[in-house]
Amino acid sequence: MATAYIPIESALSDKQIGKSVSIRGWIYRKRDQKELIFLIIRDSSDMIQAVIKKDSKAWKSAEKITIESSCELSGKIKKDARAPTGYELDVSDLKIIGLAERFPIAKDVSEEFLLDIRHLSIRSQRLQQVWKIRSTVFTAFREFFLQRGYYETHAPFFTKTSESGLELFEVDYFGKKTRLAQTWQFYAEALLPVLEKIFTIAPSFRAEKSKTARHLTEYWHGEMEAAWMDLAGLAKVCEELISYICQKVAKDCAKELKLLGRDSKQFAAVKPPFPRITYTDALKLLKKDGMKVTWGKDLRTPEEKQLTTHYDKPVIVTHYPKEVMAFYKPKDPKDKKTALCFDVLAPELGFEIIGGSERDLDIKEMTKILKQRGEDPKDYDWYFDTRRYGAVPHAGFGMGMDRIVQWICGLESIKDAIPFPRTMERLTP
Ligand code: 4AD
Ligand code: MG
């Protein structure tokens, strides 16, 4: 009969005490004593201490086994308060599956070195929690929209359309020049007359020259677009989505959050309504804090950071100056200097996790801005057809998936929110 292996997590239970179990995984730590060898075995679910006695038939393999070797073990479960996860496996059999060479990660290696060997350093216990939370965040995003009758759709990554004004990756496409997509939005707008409510999760590409803790050149972008929706309706979807993600992570990932030193109660408490403030009022608040921003300038990192210190939930900053916004964000008819748009800034993190807006229906206005910004309006002619044939009021937003993971996990850098980060300086592994 084939051996039934159980996840380590299920071995860590009073119900298993005295029982024989089989587990498999990788060696996380090894400590040799004269008569005993202690191993810590990890799998995707958890870790457990294993002890091998000198008179056991597993002793020879235990002597030979190295850090990060893969193996199969059988033995009896004991309770042991001194063991890292409270239980210990008294090993009777140990089979080495893949004997590891000397693992290159020791204490005191630099951050850069860890990124150079990211394909190995992704195994760390800390990052393992991040990957699990990241998976839950992506699942929550999908669930939220599917439950509300949205359809998942996809757009090309080779495209000439862009947010404009942002850095682009130009690529050679069989001798023609094209670009890597910065957003799914333009294609989403074309799909609205057929599907009305849609979303996607896909990579977006930004040739950001900035070396900051919040910028990737390839990041995961969760976007939604809905027909017949205005800014107030959009802001509501936004706060409900963030809350849904936080509730799900708090409920399903309490153990992972704890291992990262995060409190699941903090995220269970992230519920609508979120505070809303206009850009103009935000400047007044910043002025009181001693930060002077000239009206018309976009908010910079220190200003966004300062603003978020006033709130313990994400804050929705609305009505930014029209001048500095993407070409498709329409004027507010009540105050034409501002646009019908918002950014959502996360507390602690202190920067933007979501950007959204109503969409302009005025082809002339959009053409004028594109020209001013050095774009060729011809590249957007197909997009303007969405306005020519049965346009309806509509709105949408984009969420930086890696940024929301960064916030929830409490990570210094966005690089640790994604398994294989791409930045200005990092293209491998
Ligand atoms: O604000 P952005 O540029 O908005 C758009 O692209 C819209 N077309 C989205 C839409 O309305 N469908 O980007 C949206 C979000 C930002 O709020 C930020 O969280 C994230 O994408 N983002 C980045 N994340 C990581 N690295 C970067 N370089 C990012 N640039 C934007
Ligand atoms: Mg933005």
Q: How far apart are CA 256 and CA 129, in angstroms?
A: 5
Ligand 1 and 223: CB distance under 6 A: yes
- DSSP class per residue in 39-108: EEEE-SS-EEEEEEETTSTTHHHHHH--TT-EEEEEEEEEE-TTSTTSEEEEEEEEEEEE-----S--TT
**Ligand 1 probe mutation, 163, 403, 404, most atoms within 8 A of CB:** 403
CA 307, 313, 314, 315 torsion-angle sign? negative
Of all protein residues, the one whose alpha carbon is nearest to atom 4 of ligand 1 is: 355
Ligand 1 and 398: CB distance under 6 A: yes
**Ligand 1 probe mutation, 216, 218, 352, most atoms within 8 A of CB:** 352
Q: Which of 83, 70, 75 lies closest to 27 in space, CA to CA? A: 70
CB neighbour list of residue 274: distance below 8 Å, 6 or more residues apart? 238, 239, 242, 313, 314, 315, 316, 344
Q: Is the pTM of this model over 0.85?
A: yes
429 residues of the chain, pLDDT tens digit each: 678 999 999 999 999 999 999 999 999 999 999 999 999 999 999 999 999 999 999 999 999 999 999 999 999 999 999 999 999 999 999 999 999 999 999 888 999 999 999 999 999 999 999 999 999 999 999 999 999 999 999 999 999 998 876 789 999 999 999 999 999 999 999 999 999 999 999 999 999 887 889 999 999 999 999 999 999 999 999 999 999 999 999 999 999 999 999 999 999 999 999 999 999 999 999 999 999 999 999 999 999 999 999 999 999 999 999 999 999 999 999 999 999 999 999 999 999 999 999 999 999 999 999 999 999 999 999 999 999 999 999 999 999 999 999 999 999 999 999 999 999 999 999
